[in-house]
Amino acid sequence: MVSPQNDYDAVSPREMVIKLNKLAADESIGLIVGTSLGGFYAAVLSAETGLPAVLVNPCLMAFYHLPLLGYTGDISEFIGLFGELEDLDKSRICAIIGGSDEVVTTHSFTRGYLGEERVTVIPAGKHSGATLPLAEYFGKVIK
């Protein structure tokens, strides 16, 4: 298991994807897990590599959410990376979402894009993974 601590503000979004692609290749990663903005990067990485991914409260529309959360940088790279999700093999992706997520408000897009069968919604779950039954969920979806 590899759990990188990424400073998303230190590099551009495209540079982050390059860094994650290199990490996945160097470490022979077999599964990607990403939360929030990391869920966006996990989805992009899955689209580029074909690796399966588990997304936790993913912020798939980073270009929309980050400015709402105070991000003042250029969002154009996020828009370009969002376009790469067109190549996503949705059969290799699943997501768990807190129905009461107070940070990411576009989970209806995620459900519609991935398909309801690929998404588990925990009605009382919030943005924090601590409010979600992750151990049970991972036990079901990771084989």
Pairwise CA distance, residues 95 & 82, whole Å: 17
All structural domains of the chain, each given as residue ranges with its CATH number in brackets, are 13-141 (3.40.50.1820)
Find the helix packing angle between 13-26 and 37-49, rounded to 10°.
60
126 versus 6: which is more confidently predicted? 126
Pairwise CA distance, residues 33 & 10, whole Å: 21
φ/ψ of residue 23, rounded to 5? -60, -45
pLDDT in tens, 50-78: 999 999 999 999 999 999 999 988 899 99
- Give the pLDDT band (50/70/90) at residue 115: very high
86 versus 4: which is more confidently predicted? 86
Question: Quick check: 78 and 62 in contact, CB under 8 A?
Answer: yes
- Is the predicted pLDDT of residue 11 greater than 90, yes or no? no
Count of alpha carbons within 13 Å of 64, Cβ hemisphere only?
12
- Is the predicted pLDDT of residue 1 greater than 70, yes or no? no
Pairwise CA distance, residues 74 & 66, whole Å: 10
